[in-house]
Amino acid sequence: MINVERKPPAYPFSLAPLPFAYDALEPHIDAATMHVHHAKHHQSYITNLNAALKDYPQLHGFRIEELLLRLDTLPIAIRQTVHDQGGGHLQHQFFWSILKPRAGEAQPVGALAEAIDRDFGSFDAFKEKFVETGARHFASGWVFLAMIPATGKLEVFSRADHNTILPEKKYALLINDLWEHAYYLKYRNGRPEYLQSFWNIVNWEYVGQLYENAPLTKDRLTRAIKRFT
Ligand code: MN
């Protein structure tokens, strides 16, 4: 028996309730889309992930981030499934956390606002780049705002399907779902309109905290301080 320390949330993974009602993001994301997206799509990623891990008790103590970072050490039989379904679980879990009903004209403040101005020119220029990158992405995937630890700079880019940016060692601050299930009921083929509506439901306060509390930022800060002491 391998004795693994249980560090929940680990296997069996479970679907956390949304921190708001399914209709709370109306009219920007409709209640029917939110319901099927959370209770059906996200739930199915978790169900399939648990099914794949079921017969591998040595993997049951790991958080989803750890499993995704160790993909190349996982049994070949479940590697792709953990990548696809586990990636889907992690991305959706993060996605729900950065949404906020009636966020209206909220904007980033403080250190994050300064970093956005520094790296994109202005908040408006950042928003334009995020929407354009998401609109241009072919087929399913996600658009990201992330911090690059080596430089501390912010970048906007997209990744296909359920690829997370964990292996790239980039730190996600904000993501939006480009899969058709995220918008097709209301926006049909209007992905740019869906992306534009996203600015009404972003929890910038939380995203700002993520930026300020990024462990990688702290490491860089520690190194910077050490140089002067
Ligand atoms: Mn989705």
Ligand 1 centroid to 228 CA: how many Å? 46
Distances (CA, A) of 121 to 113, 125, 133, 146, 151: 11, 6, 16, 16, 17
Mind listing the pLDDT tens digit for each residue in 199-225? 999 999 999 999 998 866 556 656 655
Query: For residue 198, what pLDDT is reported?
Result: 97
Ligand 1 centroid to 92 CA: how many Å? 6
Distance CA 178, CA 9 (A): 26
Q: Is pLDDT above 60 for 85?
A: yes
Mind listing the pLDDT tens digit for each residue in 37-83? 999 999 999 999 999 999 999 999 999 999 999 999 999 999 999 99
- Domain-by-domain residue ranges, the chain? 31-97, 110-227
Q: Which CATH topology does 110-227 take?
A: minor pseudopilin epsh fold (3.55.40)
Instruction: State both tokens at 63.
Output: 């958080």
Ligand 1 centroid to 59 CA: how many Å? 25
Ligand 1 centroid to 182 CA: how many Å? 5
Ligand 1 centroid to 179 CA: how many Å? 6
| Helix, strand, coil shares, percent, the chain, to 5 | 55, 10, 35
Q: Is pLDDT above 70 for 122?
A: yes
The domain 31-97 is placed in CATH, from the list 1.10.287.990, 1.10.3720.10, 2.40.110.10, 3.40.50.300, at 1.10.287.990
Q: What is the pTM for the complete model shown?
A: 0.91
Ligand 1 centroid to 99 CA: how many Å? 13
